[in-house]
A and B are shown apart, each in its own frame.
Chain A
Amino acid sequence: MPLDPSFVGRTYPPTAPYEVGREKIREFAEAIGETDPAYLDPEAARALGHPDVIAPPTFPFAITYRAAAQVVEDPELKLDFSRVVHGDQKFTYTRPVAAGDLLSVTVSIESVKSMAGNDLITVRGEVYDADGAHVVTSMMMLVVRAAEGE
């Protein structure tokens, strides 16, 4: 059954703050093969004008993806997660994520479409710091593949 377009605009409560640590950034950077000193060395990051080491551009996904569980697990949506694949992903940054940030995500349903029996749902995640200032927006489009025989 296609997703109900009336879910568009549904907004979930902000998530509890996620504290970004230097060693978590280092672990993530190493996992993607990065050696850029802006991720690893606070002095090098400061020389570029950042307050501390910054996180690679896709790091915020680790936080926004967890926050998006509110949509995936929303009992009213009845998403079948075993049929969900990541269709596309976009980030728009006000500033890079940096060590020491306390980040909270406000998740909402941006759009719902049906295409060739599949549902396409775009989940917006607005990431704010402890001062309530915008850091990054994540747009995650999920494809819910049609169930067999539907």
Chain B
Amino acid sequence: MAARLTYDEVEVGTELPPLSVPVSRATLVRYAGASGDFNPIHWNERFAREVGLPDVIAHGMFTMASAARVVTAWAGDPGAVVEYGVRFTKPVVVPDDDKGALIEITGKVAARLDDEARTVRVDLTVTAAGQKVLGMSRAVVRLA
């Protein structure tokens, strides 16, 4: 297990270890079951096209969950996250082939917020197929 990161170890500009998350149709089916979100745009290509999408798209909440992994792994305790928000700007299109899609996540410390509470703000950059898929993706983390 990673040790809990301390506030004193972190400065503005500190980069978090990046993460690439492959996404296949099987990933989405599994996430649908685990989350209870069975919207057919996430597994049914015919339905997705009927509502004007290019293909099946990933759950926005799957992308949000994936991005959080960068923060929780870095902090050493997932319970350290005190705030987390994103804007869903572009869908992650998941074709029915061997490759699927790839979500790429990087993050850096944007601010030290409160010396007393030992909180920092992490800004995340989340892309798929070269496009930003989340905007305003920010987490506030309370460090040890």
Task: Give the interface of A toward B (CB within 8 A).
Answer: 27-28, 30-34, 36-39, 44, 47-50, 54, 56-58, 61-62, 65-66, 82, 85-93, 95-96, 139
Contacting residues, chain A, for B27 (C-beta < 8 A) = 31
Contact with A48, one of B35, B79, B82 (Cβ below 8 angstroms) = B79
Chain B proximity of A35: nearest CB distance (Å): 10
Q: Which residue of B lies closest to A83 (CB)?
A: B51
Known A38-B79, A56-B65, A96-B79; further 5 A-B contacts with Cβ < 8 A: A58-B84, A88-B136, A89-B88, A91-B83, A93-B81
Q: Is the interface of A mostly helix, strand, loop or mixed?
A: mixed
Contact with A31, one of B34, B72, B85 (Cβ below 8 angstroms) = B34
B36 interface hit (Cβ, 8 Å): yes
Task: Give the interface of B toward A (CB within 8 A).
Answer: 1, 4, 21, 27, 30-31, 33-37, 51, 60-62, 64-66, 68-69, 71-73, 77-79, 81-88, 136, 139
Chain A proximity of B117: nearest CB distance (Å): 13
With the chains together, A45 CA to B30 CA distance in Å? 25
> Given A28-B34, A28-B35, A56-B65: A36 and B78 within 8 A (CB)?
yes
Contacting residues, chain B, for A66 (C-beta < 8 A) = 36
Contacting residues, chain B, for A38 (C-beta < 8 A) = 1, 77-79
Chain A proximity of B14: nearest CB distance (Å): 20
Contact with A93, one of B4, B73, B83, B136 (Cβ below 8 angstroms) = B83
With the chains together, A21 CA to B109 CA distance in Å? 33
A36 engages B72 (CB within 8 Å): yes
Interface centre among B31, B34, B36, B83 (most CB of A within 10 A): B34
Contacting residues, chain B, for A47 (C-beta < 8 A) = 1
Contacting residues, chain A, for B4 (C-beta < 8 A) = 48
B65 engages A32 (CB within 8 Å): yes
Chain A proximity of B135: nearest CB distance (Å): 8
Top-7 shortest CB links A-B: A90-B85, A31-B34, A96-B79, A88-B87, A32-B65, A58-B65, A28-B34
